[in-house]
Chain A
C-alpha cells in the first residue's frame, strides 16, 4: 500500500500513502496508522441500516467505547471516502436555505466494497477461526436434489419442468455452499491441530475427539454422499447447459442477468456445474481431501497422546528436555547426565574366548587358559597387509633392451642375407651369413621335387630363398669359415624371396625324395 507518492496518491497526516488506484484501495484502512479509528467507524457504518451523519457516527462510537470527536470522525470519513470504503450523499432534508447547499450536509454509509472488507476483517481476520458443525443435512439435500434432477431429466437434455428444476437447483447450490464452507473450516481446524505435536491435554483431547468421534463419521458420510452425487452429476453432465439456462430462466432477475447487470446465482452457469462435479469427485474432491487430512492427523494425535501419557502434566517431554539441557551445561556432570538420560550408549566388550569350559575351579587370569593374539598384531601392530596394492613393476627398460636386441638381430640378419645374395657360388661366407644360407638350404632340401619342373626344389627362410637344381655331375657348395656343405649332383642358387632364377643348362629330373647334404667340418675335411 505504501510507496512513493504520485499524482494520484492520497496521503494522510501520518504520511501514509496509498498508491494503488484499483479496488485494493478499499482495504487501505485496515493497515493505516489510524486503523483502529477507521475500523471502528466502518463497524458503525456497516452495522447501520441507514446513512449516518458524522455526529451520529461519533455518538455510536461513544456507545461502543471508542470515543472520537466529530472533527476527527469527519476527517476519518473523508479519508475512507478517498479510499472508496465509504460514500457520502447530501441530506436533502436538511437543506432549507441556500447556504445549506454549500455546507457539508452529508450522510455517510459504507460502500459495497467497504462492507465486504469490513466483513472479511470481522469474520476472517479478526475472529478466532472456529470450526463450524458440518451440516450433513445439507449433504442430504445436495444428494437428493441431484438424484431427483438425474431421475427426471429426459434423454434429449431438455428440462421438462423448469420451475421445479430451478427450485432443486437453488436448493442444491445453497446447500452445497453451506456444506463447503463448514467443511473448509473443519479441515483447517483439523490441519491446525494435527500439525502441532506439542498439544496440551485439552488440545489433544480436542484433536482426539475431532478425529475419533466426529471427523471419522463425517468422512464416511461425505464419502458415500459424494459418490452418489458424483454419479448423478455424471448422468446430468450432457444437460449442464440446459440446467444452467433453466436456472436463469426461472430467476426474477432474468432480464438484468441477460443484460449483464447482474450475475446469475450459482447454478446459472455451466462452470458452476463442472465445479460441483470436481467437488464431488471420489478421488480428488473435497470429501477425499478431507479424509486424507483425517488420516494424516493420526500420527500427530498419537504422538501427542503418547507424549502426554509418558509423563505427568507437570513434567512433559519438553519440560524434561529443558531441565536436562540446563543440567548438561554443568561441566562436571553434564556428559554423565546426558548419557544417563538418553540411555543409548553402546556396550564395551572384549573379544576372543579362552578354552576354559572344562575348568574345575576359577583360576586367576594370569594362570587361566589364554586367548591368542595374532603374532603380527603384537609384533608390529597390524593384522595383515594394509594399504593399496603396489603399482605394477615397470618393465620398460627390459622391453627397450629386448627391442634393441631384436633390432640388432634383424640388422645382422639383413646384412647376412645381403652377403649371401652378393656372394659368388661357392665363395666363403661369414659365419652368420653361412648360417642364414644353411637355413634356407635345408628348407629347400626338404621340399619334394614335383610338378612340371621336377629338376628343382625351392623354398625360403627368414627372407632368403634357395633353389636346388638337379645337375648330374655337379657338386653344390656352401662355405663357412669352419664348415662346408656339399650337395652332390645339385647346384645351389640363393636369391631374393619372390624372385625366380634361371636354371642351369644341364638339369635333370630329381629322383630323390629329399636332397642329400653332406656337412663337413673344416678341421675334419
Chain B
C-alpha cells in the first residue's frame, strides 16, 4: 500500500493563509521533537511548547497522524498518545519496577472516585481497596510504601495527581504524612493510551502482541525510525525492507523526517533518523539515553565502540557487526580505569573499582540505544560454555575515530600497528 505523505504545510496555509512565517517549519519541528521527548505537556512547565503546538496544531497533527499517534489537546493539557515501544525489551529494561507500575494503575483506579483535593492517606486507602478488588496482596511494608511513593511521583510528572502541599517522600516513613494531592480527573482519562481485547493479567504476552500489532508495514517503519535510534535492514521483513529500500529517502521517510527536523541517515546496513546537532540544546531532548555523552559510562562506551571498530571479530552472517568477548571488554575497562584514574579529572571511583559493574552500565546504555547486542553463552565442544560476546553495531562507524579502521579509500593498517585489543585482525576490513 502506497501511503503518500506530503510535507506538512504551515498551519496558516491549511487554514487559509492568514499569515506565514519562514520560521513556521522550524517551530513545528521543534514542537514535534518536544512531544517525542516528553509526551505530557503541562501549563506552567511547558508553556512555550504548548503555545508552539497550539499555533501549529494542524501541521503537528498531520505529522503525528502519519504515525498513528493521537494528540490530545485539552484546555490545560497536551498529551501525545504513542504506540507501544518499538523494541519492547530495550524500553522495558529501563522502565520502573513491576511494583511501581502496579501501584501506578491502582492509584489511577482509586483516583477516579476521589474529590479534586484529597489527602494522600485517603488516596492510598482507596488504592489498597482497589488492590483488594483486583486480588493483589497488600503488605503495608516499607517496600510497598516506596513503590507507592514512586508511582505518585510518576503521576505527578504527568500532571495527573499533583502534589499540592507536603512531600510525598515523607509517606515512605509515615503513612499518615500530611500531604495534599490534587486529582485531575480529565487528565486521568488519558493515562491509558493503548488497550487490547482480553485480560492482560491472564495472558500478558498475547495481550502485548495484540497491542503492538500494526498491520501497515509503512506505519511500522515510520514509527521505528521516529521512535528509535537505528533500524537495521537485517531485522526487517520483506515488506519493511521494501519500504526501507524505496521510500526512506523518497516520498515517505524524508518528508516525515523533515517534519520532525531530523536528518535521514541511510546506509547499507539500515537507516536512522538522527537529530541534527543544532536542533537540540540539552541531551535530555534526545531521550533518556543520549550518546555520545560525557561521564564515565559514556566515555567508557565510546572507547569500547572505538576499540570494537578496530579490533572486533566479524561474522559474514551479520555483516557490519563487530564482536568482542565479554572478558576482553572487562579487561579493557579495567585497564582504562587505571589509566584515567579515579576521582577528580578521571573516572568515577566506584566504576574504576568495579569494572564488571561498569561493563553492565555500558551494556545497558548501548543495548538501550540499539548499538549493542549481547549473545548468551552457548555450549562448546568440550561441554563448557562459550564466552559471552558483545556485538557492536555497524552504526558505530558513523562516529569518526582516530583509532577506527581506515576507510575503504585508504590503505589498510599494517599488521604490526599497535591495536587496542590483543587479538589480531584481518588486513582488509569487512563491510
Contact = CB atoms under 8 A, between A and B. Distances in A.
B85 interface: yes
A40 B273 CA distance: 79
Contacts of A353: 263, 265, 274, 276-277
Interface in A65-123: none
Contacts of B309: 366
A365 B267 contact: yes
B299 A377 contact: yes
B211 interface: yes
A516 interface: no
Contact of B200 (A318, A324, A356, A387): A324
Given A346-B287, A353-B277, A381 B268 contact: no
A363 interface: yes
Which of A198, A338, A349, A387 has the most B CB atoms < 10 Å from its CB? A349
A399 interface: no
Given A198-B113, A350-B272, A352-B277, A345 B369 contact: no
Interface in A310-363: 310-311, 315, 317-318, 320-354, 356, 362-363
Given A330-B204, A368-B267, A348 B97 contact: no
Which of A317, A337, A340, A353 has the most B CB atoms < 10 Å from its CB? A340
Interface in A197-226: 197-198
A383 interface: yes
Contact of B101 (A335, A372, A373): A335
A367 interface: yes
A326 B136 contact: yes
Contacts of B286: 347-351
B96 interface: yes
A380 B345 CA distance: 8
A363 to B, nearest CB: 6
A436 B40 CA distance: 83
B5 interface: no
A196 B113 contact: yes
A250 to B, nearest CB: 49
B185 to A, nearest CB: 4
Contact of A323 (B89, B188, B189, B199): B199
B287 A347 contact: yes
Contact of A339 (B84, B299, B300): B84
Contacts of B92: 335-336, 339
A348 B109 contact: no
Contacts of B103: 325
A33 interface: no
Which of A323, A332, A348, A372 has the most B CB atoms < 10 Å from its CB? A348
B306 interface: yes
B269 A326 contact: no
Contact of A322 (B134, B287, B296, B429): B134
22 contacts: A195-B115, A311-B195, A317-B108, A317-B112, A318-B112, A322-B130, A323-B200, A325-B134, A325-B136, A327-B199, A328-B98, A334-B102, A335-B98, A336-B95, A337-B200, A339-B88, A341-B193, A344-B82, A348-B286, A353-B274, A378-B302, A381-B300
Given A324-B105, A342-B192, 12 more contacts: A197-B185, A324-B200, A326-B199, A340-B194, A341-B193, A348-B286, A362-B266, A364-B269, A364-B320, A364-B397, A366-B320, A373-B400
